[in-house]
């Protein structure tokens, strides 16, 4: 009786497991396929035009490097974003490019518009791998608090949903200059 019962239970359990694995594989393939165009769109929108000062360009590199450090994962989309930022800023990376403390400190030295661009780049780096980890959320909260902005991450969750669904980059930008206070 148990053998017959196990055979009937094994089929739906295997089907559910296979569906879950297929969903995850297809989702990751989609994220990796959409990543390069998202990276191009974000890096062009935020960095093309040379509006960032040398400190802003260094902070942009640090933003992506800090996201990589916080995820503990070198996702191909993050590598592409780091290369795009490096190419468009045309700057030698600072020696402590992967230091999140140096990144947070560098935000205080930027003008409001540069700060907004760097924070938006950080948000894009946090979602370009399709996930938003607790460590990335903490980094986003710390960076926004250092800039005196609201630590609400609704805009980043909106960007993540838009990215995963294949929608264009959200407008208006993630960080409105001067919007909100830390809290």
Helix, strand and coil content of the chain, in percent to the nearest 5, comes to: 70, 0, 30
User: Is residue 183 assigned to a domain?
Assistant: no
Check if the beta carbon of residue 130 is closer than 8 Å to that of residue 163.
yes
Instruction: Look at residue 177 in the predicted model and tell me its pLDDT.
Output: 40
- Mean pLDDT, residues 77-104: 86
**Average pLDDT in the chain:** 84
- Helix (H/G/I), strand (E/B), else coil: 6: helix
Identify the domain containing residue 144 by its residue range: 2-164
User: Is residue 114 assigned to a domain?
Assistant: yes
User: Is residue 44 assigned to a domain?
Assistant: yes
Q: What is the pLDDT of residues 11-70, one digit of tens each?
A: 889 999 999 999 999 999 999 998 898 888 888 888 876 678 888 888 899 999 999 998
- Number of domains within the chain: 1
- Mean pLDDT, residues 128-140: 89
Rounded CA gap, 83 and 154, in Å?
Answer: 27
Would you say the C-alpha torsion 19, 20, 22, 27 has a positive or negative sign? positive
User: Is residue 181 assigned to a domain?
Assistant: no
User: Is residue 27 assigned to a domain?
Assistant: yes
pTM, 2 dp: 0.80
Is the pLDDT at 175 greater than 50? The verdict is: no
User: Is residue 169 assigned to a domain?
Assistant: no
């Amino acid at each position: 009786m148990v053998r017959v019962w196990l055979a009937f239970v094994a089929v739906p359990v295997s089907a559910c497991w296979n569906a879950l694995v297929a969903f995850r594989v297809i989702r990751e393939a989609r994220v990796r396929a959409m990543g390069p165009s998202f990276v191009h769109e974000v890096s062009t929108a935020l960095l093309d035009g040379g509006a960032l000062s040398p400190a802003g360009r260094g902070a942009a590199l640090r933003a992506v490097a800090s996201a990589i450090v916080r995820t503990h994962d070198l996702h191909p989309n993050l590598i592409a974003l780091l290369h795009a930022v490096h190419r468009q800023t045309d700057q030698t990376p600072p020696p402590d490019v992967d230091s999140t403390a140096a990144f947070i400190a560098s935000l205080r030295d930027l003008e409001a518009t540069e700060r907004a661009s760097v924070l938006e780049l950080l948000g894009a780096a946090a979602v370009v791998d399709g996930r938003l980890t607790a460590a990335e959320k903490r980094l986003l909260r710390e960076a926004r608090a250092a800039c005196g902005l609201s630590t609400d991450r609704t805009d980043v969750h909106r960007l993540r949903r838009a990215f995963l669904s294949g929608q264009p980059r959200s407008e208006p930008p993630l960080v409105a200059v001067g919007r909100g206070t830390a809290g």
